[in-house]
């Protein structure tokens, strides 16, 4: 070890530095992460294990073992790094150590322990190869992973205290302040006040004695780096004493700073006459309490003075009148840590690091693949941070919001993905860079519940001195709790907003003034989610315990009791399972094949490994007992009440089914020759075989429903006629069968051009369609893909789908996209039709325009923008436009009051239109939506119609089971035996299936179904 004990001058410091560098003889070093993240994941004893192994192998002369500060890759911890070479080992366990030590000594790499590219599985052993690190700019964290945070020698060997030595010998305080000002450095503690201006205020303030406080915060960079900045700051402003104000519960930070202060003092870098410059500075560690309020500068001062840590009115600012009445410089540790590099590399260098001025350390957490501590140039976009740095969201989930700045921060929704993260932009959006906490939220995070949790923190942390914050946070918490517990009142939203405004405007300090940020930003962007909780007692994320029996059934638009039927499947009780399903949804066979199963997206098992295959289970169960009917209380007296249902789609038939089950006399009028609506004429047979459909529709007739086909409302009869015939109520469920026009010239007159819905309808009704050799389908939704795949099966040699955005934006379900690609349907993205090419009255091609993605719309989707000049003609024998459908409500043309904004049928909460006794649901109300939503509508309309006619609620009593527990749990042994893995279904080979309408997806076997069902966690039985 070097023998210089006191670097009494700048020259001595340089000699000392050279001695340390010369003393390092080991060929390799093994750095074990000592960060809190890795410790929390079990790294606490790892360094000892490594040291013992190195000693045992007698490699102490070859390999140096030491702890390093957090490299930030915390999701992958515990971490071990080999220098030189920067080989990073992840998720290291004690038993891996001998292998690592042996490999290191022989210059090899243990491949199984290095990070692998998630997409290609290619090993990326070096830190610089890993995108998580490559996307960062490491200035403040440059020592993390490289030097021992408890060693001043390591810091000095790496060039530490050079900047200090420079300014003390060469620089006037005024010049230092001028440099910090020019760098544009802003306080990293939260408010973002210019550091240089603050330093100048303290410098110019009058006072014999001046102090410096380095504010706690869990700064994860090197403590000596902070300390060097602190001493430079003290010299610049003329402070003679100061404190490192560190949270006592952050033991690691307290230890590191205590040690740094001790080591720097011993070397003459602190205390009297620093480096012989004549400047003296006394600096101590002050372990602070964990109260958030003590981060507020006046409260912090009060706490050091031995008072209750409550804020006082500013001005006077601490820069003028601070600790014990003296001018006091208070900056965050991260602010100080920026100073040495600004001194060494110059203010221009600092400003050039990022458009927002320098870099900032963020803690990237929540639903991202690679979370952890990251240092980023200020001014990256939200999207760059989430996708490039964070590696995107896991499990293919959708980005919902980024929460910035902790409990007093705000949420940014998808439409702000292009916003840059810098102080001014973020503040303008109502959030705060603050502590630098970035929590990525996906659709499984409930905004209201998370805002409630933040408010709980603010309420607890409010010091109580001023009334707006003390009472306001409490009251806001109460309102939020009411909403998440299902007791919310409609006026709560306005009440909450008004209160949040008052607390923001009238609180004494920054804590109170920012406490409302989560409420205000979430109300701006997610107001509908609050309303959904209040009005529908529905939590879209299926998180609010009081509202959610089980996430799957809560998410199901028809409210099907999935955990109960899944449990019955596990026990082989299929008939009971089907009966449970049909209590809420009479189409298990159909939905088991075509439902987009939102239930699976919320399945809690999916958080552990993979969601339960609910849809495939449903299909299996229904195919075992297709004709089972649920038992409902049948009231003979209801038979005298006639109800008419218009449209035999899933909405109309569900409505008819439930009314019939309790005894009403229901007749369904269908304009087409076959019943079923879109499930009959919209969904191709390779997804839903005819005999399955017929059997399931047959069960509806068994329940007593009468269906009259080829009876069209508008041409054959009017709604008034139905009432005149004695029907007490009418349900309108005519669907949305009218294809939207592509708005191309001659679209309606040319042969070979049709809309997707009409095309599928013709095929569904068995009418011959000649599509020719080449088909172009326009659109990106499920109808477009169904049309394309149907055209292929009708004999088209080449089918191309063109869509104006990219595949990522396609509204079609991912599994449909995959199946279409397997069948060699070409997806031509970023292409929009602008015209039709014709020969005579026959279409021969589509004029196409190449597009690119531009700005985002209100939902965060990028708008397609034409690329000038890039047009071409795509040859086609048939052009199918599948860009949307509308309901055909011409029969209501004299009653415009019944129509909604988009030409849909308007209904109230009671499912009734403005015409008394006329109810509505399904696609006619929603626009094109799903089968299961239509079922939910029909079911709710049936409840409403029963109440309307007889004032009774037999249906509601039967299906409104709420939180009832119905099926017992299987044994623990059976649960364990089911294993972790989700059962897969087989699909018919693409080459075989694409020539005819054979069903693509094959069914589970009984063993597979029972095993899969046994994986269910039974959330319905949770407390």
Partner 1 sequence: MKEKTCVCAADAVGKDDIIELLNGLRKGSVSLMPALRLIQGRYGYLPAEALSAAADYLRLPLSRVYSVATFYDELHLQPRGRHTIKVCRGSACSVQGGQDVVRAVKKTLKVEDGQTTPDFRFTFETGACFGNCAVAPVVAVDKIIYGDVTPEKLGRLINDRQRSEQEE
- What own/partner pairs with CB < 8 Å and gap ≥ 24 does 998-1004 have? 998/686, 999/593, 999/685, 999/686, 999/687, 999/688, 999/689, 1000/686, 1000/687, 1000/819, 1001/593, 1001/616, 1001/687, 1003/616, 1003/619, 1003/620, 1003/623, 1004/613, 1004/616, 1004/617, 1004/619, 1004/620
Give the separation between CA 808 and CA 102, rounded to whole angstroms. 46
Instruction: Give the C-alpha separation, 335 to 221, whole Å.
Output: 11
Stretch that binds partner 1, among 3-11, 441-449, 612-620, 878-886 (CB under 8 A): 441-449
Interface of this chain with partner 1, residues 598 to 627, rule: CB under 8 A: 607
Cβ–Cβ under 8 Å, residues 723 and 910: no
Residue 536 sits in the site that holds partner 1 (CB under 8 A): no
Task: Single out the segment in contact with partner 1 by CB under 8 A; choices: 186-194, 246-254, 388-396, 906-914.
Answer: 246-254
Contact segment (CB under 8 A) with partner 1 among 247-255, 272-280, 488-496, 783-791 equals: 247-255
**One residue of 435, 462, 516, 930 binding partner 1 per CB under 8 A:** 435
Residue 969 contacts partner 1 per CB under 8 A: no
Name which of 197, 423, 144 is nearest 331 in CA terms: 197
Per rule CB under 8 A, is residue 74 in the interface with partner 1? yes
CB 707 within 8 A of CB 673: no
Among residues 291, 665, 877, 1020, the one that binds partner 1 under rule CB under 8 A:
291
- Which residue number, 861 or 969, has a Cβ lying nearer to partner 1? 969
To the nearest whole angstrom, how small is the minimum distance from the Cβ of residue 148 to partner 1?
20
Is 833 a binding residue for partner 1 by CB under 8 A? The answer is no
Q: Which of 5, 251, 725, 1005 binds partner 1 (CB under 8 A)?
A: 251
Nearer to partner 1, 364 or 515 (CB): 364
Of the residues 104, 222, 450, 516, which one makes contact with partner 1 according to CB under 8 A:
450
Backbone angles phi, psi at 818, to 5 degrees: -60, -45
Only segment of 289-297, 472-480, 673-681, 1006-1014 that touches partner 1 (CB under 8 A): 289-297
Is residue 77 near partner 1 by the rule CB under 8 A? yes
Q: Is 406 in the site for partner 1 (CB under 8 A)?
A: yes
Choose, by CB under 8 A, the member of 273, 290, 746, 1005 that binds partner 1.
Answer: 290
Buried (b) or exposed (e) across 736-769, using 16+ Cβ within 10 A?
bbbbbebebeebeebebbbbbbbbbbebbeeeee
3-state secondary structure of 807: helix
Q: Does residue 382 touch partner 1 according to CB under 8 A?
A: no
Residue 546 makes contact with partner 1 by CB under 8 A = no
**957 backbone dihedrals φ, ψ, rounded to 5°:** -65, -35
If one asks whether residue 218 binds partner 1 (CB under 8 A), the answer comes out as yes
Q: Is the separation of the CB atoms in 195 and 335 below 8 Å?
A: yes
Among 157, 407, 700, 925, indicate the residue that binds partner 1 (CB under 8 A): 407
Minimum CB distance to partner 1, residue 515 (Å): 13
Residue 92 corresponds to which tokens in the numbers above?
């290291």
Cα distances (angstroms) measured from residue 998 to each of 2, 88, 335, 685, 824:
81, 51, 67, 7, 17
Euclidean distance between CA atoms 4 and 17, whole angstroms: 10
Using the rule CB under 8 A, is 740 a contact of partner 1? no
Task: Report yes or no: 241 and 209 within 8 Å, Cβ to Cβ.
Answer: yes
The reply on whether position 441 binds partner 1 by CB under 8 A is yes
Q: Binders of partner 1 among 310-349, rule CB under 8 A?
A: 310
Residue of 308, 344, 818, 842 interacting with partner 1 (CB under 8 A): 308
Residue of the chain from 72, 238, 468, 764 that contacts partner 1 (CB under 8 A): 72
- Residue 373 engages partner 1 in binding (rule: CB under 8 A): yes
CA distance 509 to 207: 26
Applying CB under 8 A, among 292, 705, 707, 924 the residue interacting with partner 1 is 292
Q: Is 367 in the site for partner 1 (CB under 8 A)?
A: yes
- Answer for which of 445, 560, 661, 848 binds partner 1 (CB under 8 A) is 445
**Strand, helix or coil for residue 930:** coil
| Nearer to partner 1 among residue 286 and residue 717 (C-beta) | 286
Nearest residue to 666 (alpha-carbon basis) of 721, 710, 712, 731 = 731
Letters for 22-61 (x = contact with partner 1 by CB under 8 A, - = none) are: --------------xx-xxx--x-----------------
**Residue 409 falls in which region: left (phi positive, over 0), alpha (psi -120 to 50) or beta:** beta
Of 20-28, 269-277, 401-409, 423-431, which segment contacts partner 1 by CB under 8 A? 401-409
Structural contact between residues 420 and 435, judged by C-beta atoms closer than 8 angstroms: no
Residue 629 touching partner 1 (CB under 8 A): no
Instruction: Tell the smallest beta-carbon distance from residue 604 to partner 1 (Å).
Output: 10
Of 471, 422, 387, 446, residue with least CA distance to 808: 387
- Establish if 243 lies at the interface with partner 1 (CB under 8 A): no
Could you say which of 364, 705, 730, 832 contacts partner 1 (CB under 8 A)?
364
Contact stretch for partner 1 (CB under 8 A) within 135-143, 224-232, 405-413, 591-599:
405-413
- What is the nearest approach in angstroms of partner 1 to the Cβ of residue 566? 22
For residue 541, the minimal CB distance to partner 1 (Å) is 11
Give how many residues touch partner 1 by CB under 8 A: 59
Q: How far is the CB of 418 from partner 1 (least distance, A)?
A: 23
We find the least distance from the C-beta atom of residue 486 to partner 1, in angstroms, to be 16
> ∠ CA 87-90-92 to the nearest 5 degrees?
115
Question: Of these, 27, 248, 467, 977, which contacts partner 1 (CB under 8 A)?
Answer: 248
Neighbouring C-beta atoms of residue 181, cutoff 10 Å: 17
Binding partner 1 (rule: CB under 8 A), the pick from 83, 179, 403, 737 is 403
Q: Which is nearer to partner 1, 141 or 829 (CB)?
A: 141
CA distances (Å), 556 to each of 540, 584, 625, in order? 10, 10, 22
Among 12, 194, 209, 365, binds partner 1 (CB under 8 A): 365
Tell me, what DSSP letter sits at residue 161? T
Query: Residue 976 interacts with partner 1 (CB under 8 A)?
Result: no
For position 430 contacting partner 1 by CB under 8 A, the verdict is no
Please state the closest distance from residue 968 (CB atom) to partner 1, in A. 21
Segment contacting partner 1 by CB under 8 A, of 49-57, 456-464, 720-728, 757-765 = 456-464
Distance CA 517, CA 31 (A): 41
Residue placing its CB nearer to partner 1 in the complex, 392 or 649: 392
β partners of residue 873: 847
What would the two tokens of residue 386 be?
A: 């989430």
CA angle, 233 then 237 then 243, to 5°? 55
- The conformation of residue 77, written as its DSSP 8-state character, comes to -
Q: How far is the CB of 460 from partner 1 (least distance, A)?
A: 8
Rounded to whole angstroms, how far apart are CA atoms 416 and 855?
Answer: 10
**C-alpha–C-alpha distance, residues 36 and 21, integer Å:** 29
CB of 367 to partner 1, least distance (A): 7
Are the C-beta atoms of residues 237 and 199 closer than 8 Å to each other?
yes
What string marks each residue from 457 to 486 as x (binds partner 1 by CB under 8 A) or -?
Answer: x--xx-x-----------------------
Integer CA distances (angstroms), 533 to 443, 541, 788, in order: 15, 11, 40
Q: Which residues bind partner 1 (CB under 8 A)?
A: 36-37, 39-41, 44, 72, 74-75, 77, 218, 220, 248-251, 287, 289-292, 303-310, 363-367, 371-373, 403, 406-407, 409, 435, 437, 439-441, 445, 449-450, 453-454, 456-457, 460-461, 463, 545, 607, 1023
């Amino acid at each position: 070890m070097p023998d210089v004990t006191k670097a009494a001058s700048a020259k001595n410091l340089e000699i000392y530095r050279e001695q340390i560098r010369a003393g390092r003889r080991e060929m390799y070093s093994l750095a074990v992460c000592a960060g809190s993240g890795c410790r929390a994941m079990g790294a606490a004893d790892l360094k000892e294990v490594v040291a013992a192994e190195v000693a045992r192998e007698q490699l102490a002369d070859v390999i140096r073992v030491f702890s390093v500060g957090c490299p930030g890759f915390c999701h992958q911890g515990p971490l071990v790094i080999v220098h030189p070479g920067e080989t990073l080992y992840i998720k290291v366990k004690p038993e891996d150590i001998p292998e690592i030590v042996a490999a290191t000594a022989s210059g090899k790499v243990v491949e199984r322990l290095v990070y692998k590219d998630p997409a290609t599985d290619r090993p990326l052993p070096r830190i610089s190869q890993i995108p998580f690190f490559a996307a960062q700019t490491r200035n403040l964290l440059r020592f993390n992973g490289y030097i021992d945070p408890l060693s001043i020698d390591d810091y000095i060997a790496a060039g530490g205290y050079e900047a200090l030595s420079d300014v003390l010998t060469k620089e006037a305080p005024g010049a230092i302040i001028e440099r910090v000002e020019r760098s544009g450095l802003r306080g990293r503690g939260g408010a973002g006040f210019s550091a240089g201006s603050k330093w100048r205020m303290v410098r110019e303030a009058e006072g014999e004695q001046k102090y410096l406080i380095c504010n706690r915060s869990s700064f994860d960079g090197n403590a000596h780096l902070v300390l060097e900045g602190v001493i430079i700051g003290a010299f610049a402003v003329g402070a003679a004493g100061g404190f490192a104000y560190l949270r006592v519960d952050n033991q690691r930070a307290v230890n590191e700073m205590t040690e740094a202060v001790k080591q720097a003092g011993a070397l003459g870098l602190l205390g009297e006459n620093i480096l012989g410059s004549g400047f003296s500075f006394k600096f101590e560690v002050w372990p602070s309490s964990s109260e958030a309020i003590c981060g507020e500068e006046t409260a912090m001062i009060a706490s050091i003075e031995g008072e209750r840590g409550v804020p006082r009115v500013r001005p006077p600012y601490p820069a003028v009148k601070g600790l014990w009445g003296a001018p006091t410089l208070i900056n965050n540790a991260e602010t100080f840590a920026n100073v040495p590099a600004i001194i060494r590399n110059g203010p221009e260098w600092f400003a050039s690091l990022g458009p927002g001025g320098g870099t900032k350390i963020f803690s990237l957490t929540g639903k991202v693949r690679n979370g952890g501590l990251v240092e980023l140039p200020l001014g990256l976009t939200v999207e760059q941070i989430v996708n490039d740095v964070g590696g995107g969201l896991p499990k293919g989930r959708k980005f919902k919001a980024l929460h910035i700045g902790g409990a007093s921060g705000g949420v940014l929704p998808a439409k702000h993905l292009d916003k840059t993260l810098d102080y001014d932009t973020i503040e303008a959006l109502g959030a705060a860079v603050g502590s630098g906490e970035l929590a990525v939220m996906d659709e499984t995070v409930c905004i209201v519940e998370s805002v409630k949790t933040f408010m709980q923190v603010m309420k607890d942390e409010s010091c109580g001195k001023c009334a707006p914050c003390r009472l306001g946070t409490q009251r806001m918490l109460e309102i939020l709790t009411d909403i998440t517990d299902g007791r919310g009142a409609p006026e709560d939203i306005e009440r909450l907003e008004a209160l949040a405004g008052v607390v923001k405007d009238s609180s004494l300090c920054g804590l109170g003034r920012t406490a409302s940020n989560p409420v205000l930003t979430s109300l701006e962007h997610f107001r509908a989610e609050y309303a959904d909780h209040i009005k529908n007692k529905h939590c879209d994320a299926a998180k609010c315990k009081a509202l959610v029996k089980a996430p799957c059934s809560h998410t199901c638009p028809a409210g099907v009791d999935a955990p109960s039927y899944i449990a019955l499947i596990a026990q082989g009780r299929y008939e009971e399972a089907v009966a449970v399903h049909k209590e809420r949804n009479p189409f298990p066979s159909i939905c088991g094949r075509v439902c987009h199963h939102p239930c699976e997206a919320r399945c809690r098992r999916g958080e552990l490994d993979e969601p339960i295959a609910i849809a495939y289970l449903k299909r299996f169960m229904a195919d075992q007992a297709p004709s089972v009917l649920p038992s409902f209380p049948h009231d003979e007296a209801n038979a005298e009440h006639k109800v008419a249902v218009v449209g035999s789609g899933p909405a109309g038939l569900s409505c008819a089914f439930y009314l019939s089950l309790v005894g009403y006399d229901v007749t369904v009028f269908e304009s087409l020759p076959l019943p079923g609506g879109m499930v009959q004429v919209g969904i191709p047979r390779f997804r839903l075989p005819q005999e399955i459909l017929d059997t399931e529709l047959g069960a509806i007739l068994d329940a007593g429903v009468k269906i009259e086909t080829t009876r069209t409302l508008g041409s054959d009869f009017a709604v008034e006629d139905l009432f005149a015939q004695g029907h007490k109520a009418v349900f309108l469920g005519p669907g949305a069968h009218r294809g939207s026009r592509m708005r191309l010239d001659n679209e309606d007159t040319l042969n070979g051009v049709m809309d997707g819905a009409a095309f599928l309808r013709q095929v569904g009704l068995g009418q011959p369609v000649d599509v020719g050799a080449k088909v172009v389908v326009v659109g990106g939704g499920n109808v477009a893909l169904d049309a394309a795949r149907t055209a292929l099966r009708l004999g088209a040699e080449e089918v191309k789908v063109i869509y104006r955005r990219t595949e990522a934006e396609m509204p079609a379900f991912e599994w449909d996209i995959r199946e279409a690609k397997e069948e060699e349907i070409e997806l031509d993205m970023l292409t929009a039709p602008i015209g039709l090419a014709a020969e005579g009255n026959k279409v021969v091609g589509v004029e196409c325009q190449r597009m690119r993605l531009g700005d985002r719309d209100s939902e965060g989707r990028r708008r397609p923008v034409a690329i000038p000049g890039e047009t071409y003609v795509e040859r086609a024998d048939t052009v199918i436009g599948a860009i949307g459908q509308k309901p055909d409500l011409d029969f209501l043309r004299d009653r415009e009051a019944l129509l909604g904004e988009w030409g849909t049928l308007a209904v109230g909460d009671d499912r009734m239109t403005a015409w008394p006794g006329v109810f509505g649901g399904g696609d006619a109300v929603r626009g094109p939506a799903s089968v299961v939503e239509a079922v939910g509508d029909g079911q709710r309309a049936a409840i409403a119609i029963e109440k309307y006619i007889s004032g009774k609620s037999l249906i509601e009593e039967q299906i409104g089971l709420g939180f009832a527990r119905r099926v017992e749990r299987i044994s623990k042994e059976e649960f364990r035996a089911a294993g972790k893995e989700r059962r897969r279904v087989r699909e018919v080979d693409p080459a075989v299936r694409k020539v005819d309408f054979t069903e693509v997806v094959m069914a589970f076997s009984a063993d597979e179904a029972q095993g899969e069902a046994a994986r269910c966690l039974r959330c319905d039985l949770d407390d």
